[in-house]
Amino acid sequence: MKYYVVDAFADEVFKGNPAGVCVLDDPIDDNTMQKIAAENNLSETAFVVKNGSSYNLKWFTPKSEIDLCGHATLGTSYVISNYVDIGIENMTFNTGSGILKVKRNGDLYEMDFPLRKPESIELSHEIISEAIGITPIAAYLSRDLFVVLETEKQLKELTPDFSRMIKLKDGLGVIVTARGTDVDFVSRCFYPKLGVNEDPVTGSAHSNLIPFWSQRLNKDIMVARQLSSRGGTLYCKLAGDRVKISGKAVPYMIGNINICR
């Protein structure tokens, strides 16, 4: 199969979040996909196969399949539009989270994702503070544990204890967010349960972040920044019960995966 690595939510190489994209001629079994993802050892490897006028898409971390991934969807869209169905602007993906649509607008790829509003929970702030290294001002839960800090500076200086974080009962991962200084809001995302201590840029987390900050900032259109060491910029829009997440992408590598049996 043809294999690509694309830096998503980036306008230059070595920024954003690298996604592996495997372009298949025919479907393969989940066990093989999981082994490939573990071998690639990126936060996500996407597997895409054409299905009529749409595409079937799955995402795997090095440890398990996941139900929604933004940066690997962006990376896949870049690959399809530039190398597979060259020049295509509207793409439809069949996924475990339903039908996802992506529209190419020049060098921006706009993803139409489900909205996942985080719900307030009663959770000991002491337990969270032991895991993330600071006491939050609020905690919520969606697919992931969603934690709010008072300042961007606190977010930048976080030093999580991943051995404690992996033992948290609530949430697949941990999203930590604060109001931004140069952008509308900022975040960092941690997924040690999936073998990814800190995810460089997490598109799916913004299914939670967009409705949360839209309500608090009274804005439907926002710019967000994920403050990992690589960093990434996301252009966000609240659209009813959906969210629109846009970003740029740059290619890093093109190769072949050969599996001899």
d(CA 134, CA 126): 9
Could you read off the pLDDT of 219-244 as tens digits, one per residue?
Answer: 999 999 999 999 999 999 999 999 99
Evaluate if residue 260 carries a pLDDT over 80.
no
Once rounded to an integer, what is the mean pLDDT over residues 123-146?
A: 88
pLDDT at position 261, please? 62
Nearest Cα neighbor of 140 from 159, 164, 126, 123 is: 123
Q: Is 61 within 8 Å of 44 (Cβ atoms)?
A: yes
**Confidence at residue 256, expressed as pLDDT on a 0 to 100 scale:** 97
- Unique residue bearing structure tokens 């952008």: 183
pLDDT of residue 195: 87
pLDDT at site 220: 97
What is the SS3 assignment for 235?
Answer: strand
| Cα 62–Cα 65–Cα 71 angle in degrees, nearest 5 | 75
pLDDT at 186: 98
Instruction: Identify the pLDDT of residue 6.
Output: 98
Tens of pLDDT, residue by residue over 142-191, are 999 999 999 999 999 999 999 999 999 889 999 999 999 999 999 999 99
With pLDDT > 70 as the criterion, what percentage of the chain qualifies? 98
CA 56 – CA 13 distance, rounded (Å): 27
pLDDT over 70 (residue 120): yes
Is 152 considered catalytic here?
no
Q: Which of 188, 203, 181, 199 is nearest to 249 (CA)?
A: 203
Average pLDDT, the chain: 95
Mean pLDDT over 196-214 rounds to 95
Instruction: For residue 254, list its beta bridge partners.
Output: 4
On whether the CB atoms of residues 130 and 159 are closer than 8 A, the answer is no
More confident residue, 102 or 121: 102
Q: Which has the higher per-residue pLDDT, 174 or 259? A: 174
Structure tokens at 21: 């994209």
Q: Is the pLDDT of residue 212 over 80?
A: yes
Q: What is the pLDDT of residue 123?
A: 67
Residue 122: the pLDDT is 77
> Is residue 208 over pLDDT 80?
yes
pTM to 2 decimal places: 0.91
Please state, in angstroms and rounded to a whole number, the distance separating the CA atoms of residues 214 and 221.
8
Domains of the chain and any CATH numbers: 2-113+246-256 (3.10.310.10), 119-240 (3.10.310.10)
pLDDT digit string, tens, across residues 44-94: 999 999 999 999 999 999 999 999 999 999 999 999 999 999 999 999 999
Under DSSP, is residue 186 helix (H, G, I), strand (E, B) or coil? strand
Q: What is the mean pLDDT of residues 115-141?
A: 87
Active-site residue, from 39, 44, 89, 130: 44
Q: Please state, in angstroms and rounded to a whole number, the distance separating the CA atoms of residues 167 and 160.
A: 13
